[in-house]
Structure 1
Amino acid sequence: MTDSSSPTLRLRRLATMLRRAREEAGYTATQVGNKFKWSAGKVTKMETTETKRIKADDLDKLMDLYEITGAEQRASMHALAKDARQRGWWSKYKEVFTDRALPDFEAEASMIRTYEAQMVPGLLQTPTYAEALLLGGRFGNPEIIKKKAEARMVRREILTRINPARFRAIIDEGALRRAIGGPEVLKEQLAYLHYMAQLPNVDIQVLTSDTGSHAGLCAPFTILDFPDPLDLPIVYIDTASNGLFLEEPEDVEAHSAIFGDIQGSALSTVRSADLIIDIMKSLESPS
């Protein structure tokens, strides 16, 4: 089982706590920097996670200045700084993930909502489907492709671990009919999708091809929510070169509204499960 902690999320939480403490104490970032004779922008970088490692003595200076005296709160902030320096399981897959990777946020997500139009979402893929999907791109190193598929399988553990993430997926019907890897691979994938749809923490809805115009005629996206109020939701959009993270509240709100609209256009979870079975049957060879 993979570690369920997120170094980036811990750093993000600590940065939020420092910014709020500074504002409550009535200081500007410049005033704090000047007081400690720090380089320009050091305080701002701490508060925006540009600084990946916050030294213990620097943290003590800030907490003293902001009059954070509670032993429990100080210990909690030091623990966040320490956790932020840890490396997640995805660091073993340096060929696959960048420094700011989606699994870093998935690790502590309480709710994940995803809309996918072209393929089965990564968290619901089988090994053979994932490998076939990756082979469909530009010619690449077979070992790298194998590593990518393997990493994708490790990601899936967040849905079956103790206290799993809640997962809501809306998948376009075309993605379920696209014969990635051939009929047998697709059939296996659909069977796994049907199995996952029966888990209490997983909801799968299908957006049928006859829906016509709908709110999902945009780039696929994922919204991640977290249990701690200090960890604001984040939107992830996959791109050809690297993933894009959107953290501004208006961006999250806009994508949440779009997801709700797409959900309203999709089949119910029960009817979606029936459609998945129907597509599986259509792949069976005639007797």
Structure 2
Amino acid sequence: MNHPISPTVRRRRLARELRRLREGHGLKLSTAAKDASVPQSTLSNIEAAEARRIKPRDIDALADLYGSSDAQRAALQELAQESKEKGWWSKYKDVFGGNALPDFEVEASMIRMYQCQVIPGLLQTPAYAEAVFRGGGAYTDDEVRRNVDARIQRQYTLSRHNPLHLWAVIDEAALHRRVSDPSVMREQLQHLINMAMRHNVNIQILPFRAGMHAALSGSFFLLDFPNELDPSIVYTETSTDSLFVQESASVQRYVTIFSNLNAAAHRPAESVGFLQETLESSEQHVD
């Protein structure tokens, strides 16, 4: 499987680059739209990273207006073209909805995350993932299968060529949440230990004895990207909605929260020992 392209990330990059060019020429959006003969609503949507169908002639007109070089023009056209592509996750709209987390994961260079209730999806075994989706009794068998399949597909980002770096802080509570079949949890714990040995995966356990901490409001993902034109974002979700936080001050607040969690949690090597002890303890309590 080739490294997928994220149309959303490309739209964001194109938006920032066109806005930078326009502001570099001291032009208001309305003036640039008029001078390039591009509808103002179209340019506004492109610069807001909301345009789904971008015409090559509009990019050419803007490149002409901004005096772009041939190489720069070609790069803008390529971004516009890539912004139309569809990733594998588009086949799972019933699972991910309109805001698809994989749309950002596939191009992220690092994900820093905190998970408080369950093992993070990127680190789940198929059996554990199935137990998670069956837990509330809200899904049919087919829906469970769809959700598990989609979750396992997401994990490719950890094993692809040039994989992303995952740094996960997991609350101790997630290790003790029971599943109906204890062997599923034992397999999951062993999988965490195995994953923690990978060069691109850091796992830290936040123990109960850490007490009150910086992320009592809940789980979150902090995604960083390799290209400086793609600023970091934060992803959080509720039972009914998902939210991407892009405003820099808000993102920085999550960076601080993660730093505090990192300091409060066991070091990675200690965390592996903690997981091993938890696994051994669960094996001793086999019915």
CA drift at 1:262: 0.6
8 Å contact kept, 2:52–2:83: yes
Cα pair distance change 1:23/1:207, threshold 3 Å: same
Measure the CA separation in 2 of the matches of 1:6 and 1:20. Answer: 21
Q: Which residue of 2 aligns with 1:217?
A: 216
Cα pair distance change 1:102/1:181, threshold 3 Å: farther
Measure the CA separation in 1 of the matches of 2:99 and 2:190. Answer: 32
**3-state SS of the aligned residue for 1:237?**
strand
1:48-105 deviation line (CA, Å, top 9, x unaligned):
112122110011001101111x111111111111111110011121211223310000
User: Counterparts in 2 of 1:1-287, with a 5 A limit?
Assistant: 1=1, 3-36=3-36, 38-68=38-68, 70-285=69-284
8 Å contact kept, 1:112–1:225: yes
| TM-score, length basis structure 1 | 0.96
Measure the CA separation in 1 of the matches of 2:188 and 2:180. Answer: 10
Measure the CA separation in 1 of the matches of 2:269 and 2:37. Answer: 62
1:32 aligned partner, one-letter code = A
| TM-score, length basis structure 2 | 0.96
CA drift at 1:181: 4.0
**3-state SS of the aligned residue for 2:95?**
coil
8 Å contact kept, 1:3–1:107: yes
**3-state SS of the aligned residue for 2:19?**
helix
- More helix by percentage: 2
Does 10-19 or 27-36 show the bigger shift? 27-36
CA drift at 1:4: 2.7
8 Å contact kept, 2:3–2:161: no
Measure the CA separation in 2 of the matches of 1:262 and 1:281. Answer: 26
RMSD: 1.4
1:87-124 deviation line (CA, Å, top 9, x unaligned):
00111212112233100000010010000110101100
1:196-249 deviation line (CA, Å, top 9, x unaligned):
000011000000011112112122100000000000000000221221000010
1:112-138 deviation line (CA, Å, top 9, x unaligned):
000011010110000010011011124
Does 176-185 or 115-124 show the bigger shift? 176-185
Does 10-19 or 43-52 show the bigger shift? 43-52
CA drift at 1:146: 0.6
2:211 aligned partner, one-letter code = G
**3-state SS of the aligned residue for 1:235?**
strand
Calculate percent identity across the aligned residue pairs: 42
Cα pair distance change 1:57/1:27, threshold 3 Å: same
1:169-199 deviation line (CA, Å, top 9, x unaligned):
0000010111134311110100000000000
Measure the CA separation in 2 of the matches of 1:271 and 1:181. Answer: 28
Does 171-180 or 199-208 show the bigger shift? 171-180
Measure the CA separation in 2 of the matches of 1:143 and 1:256. Answer: 38
8 Å contact kept, 1:223–1:256: yes
Cα pair distance change 1:34/1:247, threshold 3 Å: same
8 Å contact kept, 1:3–1:89: no
Does 15-24 or 88-97 show the bigger shift? 88-97
8 Å contact kept, 1:7–1:86: yes
Does 259-268 or 86-95 show the bigger shift? 86-95
Instruction: Number of aligned residue pairs: give it.
Output: 286
**3-state SS of the aligned residue for 1:100?**
coil
8 Å contact kept, 1:10–1:84: yes
Mark the runs of 5 or more structure 1 residues left unpaired by the alignment: none
**3-state SS of the aligned residue for 1:33?**
helix
